[in-house]
Chain A
Amino acid sequence: MPVFKFPFHGYSVKFSPFIETRLAVATAQNFGIIGNGRQLVLDLTPGGMVSPVGFDTSDSAYDCAWSESNENLLASATGDGSIKLWDVASSSLLVNLHEHTREAHSIDWNPTRKDSFLSASWDDTLKLWAEGRMQSIRTFREHSYCVYSAAWNPRHPDVFASASGDCTMRVWDVREPNSTMIIPAHEGEILTCDWNKYNDCVIASGAVDNSIKVWDVRSYRAPIAVLMGHRYAVRRVKFSPHSEGMIASCSYDMTVCAWEYRAEDALVARYDHHTEFALGVDMSVLVEGLLASTSWDQAVYVWQHGTDPRAS
């Protein structure tokens, strides 16, 4: 059974970069409006999915990220602005990093440097953290509204992008004091962004205008592709780690879609297994074609692209 049900509402799912059968799910009580959170760790077994470890948080957990340097280290972004680092092997909370003054909404671990990560928050800032440090290294303060998402460039260890509710997507370089590019990507709030793993100048953004736009930062005045098909806001986009043109996205229209942005007819697949807003989607780096998604319907599904998520 590639489905796992849990008592809270799912916000984010991430595959482990070390263990191909492990994933983390960030969940929140009461739709994340108010209440506790729970950070789950799931394992895929031939009999289905099991949860060997779960961590309770006092506020909602909005996002999680696996460390790229240690398979036991897991980070959660929670609703009181704190970022919690968990040791999965010993089931304990290692560090509580509390600097954001509002909800921490997104975490991204640097896949190249492996020792640092970014957090994006509703307090309009992003913060750069490093393993071993109790304080943030840098704070990036330029957006004029909530920052929803941060994404490291997969080939340039110091470059990252941020998506914000002020309708701009910014490209930053940690060596520069300010953002290096401002892309007014959408007319509405931009909820997510992700870099192409095989073309380091291509980035995709998803927004509340139901569209996904794919940009080349070298000529960012116009997108190179606009992917329409979602009926409501696009909550998350993810470029495939195995295929240059493939994008997975999830949306408030309760579907998970797969796209090939270079093709004429870009929509490749639409999975409608969820019965509530789909908030998290991830593609495994270790197992090609493996997708996971989670939703407010209190479930997480793991399936191979091209198969039915609800099939046993």
Chain B
Amino acid sequence: MATDSSAPGLGNEKAGTPGVEPSKPTGDYENGANVGATNENGGKSVFVNSEPMREDQVQNAIKFLSHPKVQGSPVVFRRSFLERKGLTKEEIDEAFRRVPDPPSNASTTQVATSTQEGQLQSALTVQPQPPVHTLQPAAVTTMTVPTPQKSGFQWSHIALAVGLFAASGACTGLLFKNAVVPRLKSWIRKVVSEEDELEKKDQLKPRPIDEAAAAAKAAAAAAAEVARASQEMLHAKNEEGKYFEAFTKLLEVQVEEMKTMRNTICNLEGIRENPRVLDQQISKQFHSESGRPLSAPASIQPAGGAPHSQQFMDVMAMVQRGEKPPGIREINDKVPNATQPLTNSRLVPKSKPWEDTSRVQPSSIYISQTETKVVDSPASGQGAYYANGSATQTQYRQPLRNGTPMAEQQWWKQKPEPNPSYSFNPDRGANVTITEAEPENDGLQTQHSWAPSKESLPRRAWVPPPPPPVAMPEAADAIRRPRSSGWVEGAGDERSTSSLGIGVEQDGPSETGVLGSVKYDNSEVYGGTSAVDEDGSGKGLDTIVPLETEAQ
């Protein structure tokens, strides 16, 4: 403990007193705020992880983050998993830094920023992106595979067709040339030798005609071939299209499988006990707005298999069917009067029992100070305030405090009788199943005892401190000064009141006018200063004193 308290606080920019033992009693309540400040600076080191970074853990994390299936999961889940495994924030950040994954790095920088507003939104957007990213490259790769084939097919087909056309065209051209030229020639010859025998013309004609016919036939055949070839091409295209569709379907199936695998990985890593919680997680991811039962976490749908009553199951079934159970009223819980003030406090905050650790009072002291405080208790009409301060180790063995009728009526203060012998009965019957601590002193240490044993720290008496002297007379004046501050009702004064002790408290109940009535405005009441931050001196509220005053 000594080493821990002497370790410098991480990021402790406040030059407080290091090495302050956090377990030291904080002293009087009046100084509680101040001591708290110094304790915070030293105690701040206690609430911060001061372990050095463990390299083996970082390596494990890197292995985990480098796994391909993990890289498809959202960053939030990865961080959550590592946190559950006990890694510190520094180790997790280091692992994210080292894993070379650009999308996760970008998301990591998103996550690592402080005051992560909208981290949820960014996480949600990161979520669909990785699957889309993985889909797209896969789709692109698969797309490129058939298209070359397709274009290859296309190109080959086109080349074939072009070649055929060219060939047929050339053939026909040649043939026609062969046919036309001789025809021309023959025609010329015919014209020239018209006066010659016409039988020669007749004899010459069939040959070019035959040749032309043959050429036409050949052209037709070539055209038919081309047509067939183009038809085949179409066919092949259709088949290719079908193959492609089948391919995409297979891809989709694969993607679905990957998605389910990813989900099961996440869920397995979550090691949830209740399978209902898995559904809740998944449905919570997608922000199902269909009502509480689907997205209720373990606190409504108790995990661990705790049996539900039939009533509960009926209500759940009704809601999941979409019906509303009867008896639900429309309640207007809007603020009726926005400027209504908070009723003045007539009681002063009491010091807590644990803030009084420096004192061990004997049992017989009754708390006279508390009797001066007005207690709005209907039970204790006379305001007699029995001190339970006799809280020594042996208190529970004292007989019932039944000295006065009032004590008997205040059943909530009656201590249990000594030596009750109840049996510890795990069955939930009508028996009272209370295990009571053995009242013998010797058995205190080993036996269960809700009273601390003798070796432990002495029982704290709930005794407010004796009134310290008026340390700040100006504060006493401040209390008497009329305050017209906001609805906070001068809680800062309460603190100084209590710190000043009884001397001022006696005026408390009658000073309703002094403290002024308070307002809870809807407008921003404070002038921008937070009541909680600032220094740790506990005087935060005093900064809110200058507020607008309103006529009473």
Q: Determine if B227 is an interface residue (Cβ-Cβ < 8 Å).
A: no
Q: Which residue of B lies closest to A174 (CB)?
A: B532
Q: Which residue of B lies closest to A44 (CB)?
A: B412
Q: Which residue of A lies closest to B112 (CB)?
A: A178
Among candidates A139, A181, A209, A289, residue contacting B415 with C-beta atoms closer than 8 Å: A289
Q: Which residues of chain A have C-beta atoms less than 8 A from B77's C-beta? A: 144
Q: Which residue of A lies closest to B414 (CB)?
A: A304
Indicate with 1 or 0, residue by residue over B245-272, a CB within 8 angstroms of chain A CB atoms: 0000000000000000000000000111
Q: Determine if A243 is an interface residue (Cβ-Cβ < 8 Å).
A: yes
* B residues 288-303 touching A (CB-CB < 8 Å): 291-293, 296-300, 302-303
| A70-B23 contact given A58-B333, A208-B304, A287-B413, CB 8 Å threshold | no
Task: Give the distance in Å from the alpha carbon of A122 to the alpha carbon of B281 in the complex.
Answer: 12
Indicate with 1 or 0, residue by residue over B484-499, a CB within 8 angstroms of chain A CB atoms: 0011110100110000
Among candidates A105, A233, A260, A285, residue contacting B352 with C-beta atoms closer than 8 Å: A285
Return B343 CB to nearest CB of chain A, in Å: 4
Task: Give the distance in Å from the alpha carbon of A2 to the alpha carbon of B413 in the complex.
Answer: 12
Return A179 CB to nearest CB of chain B, in Å: 8
Among candidates A33, A145, A244, residue contacting B315 with C-beta atoms closer than 8 Å: A33
Q: How many residues of A contact B (CB 8 A)?
A: 150
Among candidates A131, A171, A175, A270, residue contacting B424 with C-beta atoms closer than 8 Å: A270
> Is the beta-carbon distance between A36 and B304 smaller than 8 angstroms?
no
Q: Determine if B282 is an interface residue (Cβ-Cβ < 8 Å).
A: no
Q: Which residues of chain B have C-beta atoms less than 8 A from A188's C-beta? A: 271-273, 298, 303-304
> Is the beta-carbon distance between A272 and B36 smaller than 8 angstroms?
no
Task: Give the distance in Å from the alpha carbon of A44 to the alpha carbon of B354 in the complex.
Answer: 25
Return A204 CB to nearest CB of chain B, in Å: 15
> Is the beta-carbon distance between B434 and A306 smaller than 8 angstroms?
yes
> Is the beta-carbon distance between B448 and A69 smaller than 8 angstroms?
no
Q: Which residue of B lies closest to A144 (CB)?
A: B80
Q: Which residues of chain B have C-beta atoms less than 8 A from A267's C-beta? A: 435, 448
- Counting chain B CB atoms within 10 Å of each CB, the highest count among A116, A252, A267 belongs to A252
> Is the beta-carbon distance between B297 and A243 smaller than 8 angstroms?
no
* A residues 190-237 touching B (CB-CB < 8 Å): 191, 197-201, 208-210, 217-218, 220-221, 232-233, 235
Return A79 CB to nearest CB of chain B, in Å: 7
> Is the beta-carbon distance between B452 and A112 smaller than 8 angstroms?
no
Q: Which residues of chain A have C-beta atoms less than 8 A from B40's C-beta? A: 156-159
Q: Which residue of A lies closest to B284 (CB)?
A: A145
Q: Which residues of chain A have C-beta atoms less than 8 A from B432's C-beta? A: 308, 310-311
Q: Which residue of B lies closest to A242 (CB)?
A: B353
> Is the beta-carbon distance between A57 and B302 smaller than 8 angstroms?
no
Q: Determine if A99 is an interface residue (Cβ-Cβ < 8 Å).
A: no
Task: Give the distance in Å from the alpha carbon of A233 to the alpha carbon of B306 in the complex.
Answer: 8
| A112-B32 contact given A267-B435, A269-B436, CB 8 Å threshold | yes
> Is the beta-carbon distance between B412 and A2 smaller than 8 angstroms?
yes
Task: Give the distance in Å from the alpha carbon of A146 to the alpha carbon of B116 in the complex.
Answer: 16
Return A259 CB to nearest CB of chain B, in Å: 8
| A90-B452 contact given A34-B325, A141-B117, CB 8 Å threshold | no
Q: Which residues of chain B have C-beta atoms less than 8 A from A158's C-beta? A: 40, 532, 536
Among candidates A124, A166, A179, A217, residue contacting B120 with C-beta atoms closer than 8 Å: A124
Among candidates B47, B300, B309, B520, residue contacting A33 with C-beta atoms closer than 8 Å: B300
* B residues 97-125 touching A (CB-CB < 8 Å): 114-117, 119-120
23 A-B residue pairs with Cβ-Cβ distance under 8 Å, sorted by A, are: A19-B347, A21-B378, A22-B377, A56-B331, A70-B342, A70-B345, A94-B487, A95-B520, A131-B531, A132-B544, A142-B116, A181-B49, A208-B274, A218-B46, A220-B49, A245-B456, A252-B302, A269-B434, A269-B450, A285-B352, A290-B413, A306-B396, A306-B434
The 3 closest A-B pairs by CB, nearest first: A306-B416, A177-B114, A46-B409
Question: Chain A residues in contact with chain B, CB under 8 A?
Answer: 2, 17-22, 29-36, 43-46, 56-58, 68-73, 79, 84, 87-90, 92-96, 103, 105, 110-116, 122-124, 128, 130-135, 137, 139, 141-142, 144-146, 148, 153-159, 165-168, 171, 173-182, 184, 187-189, 191, 197-201, 208-210, 217-218, 220-221, 232-233, 235, 240-246, 252-254, 258-260, 262-272, 276-277, 285-290, 296, 302-308, 310-311
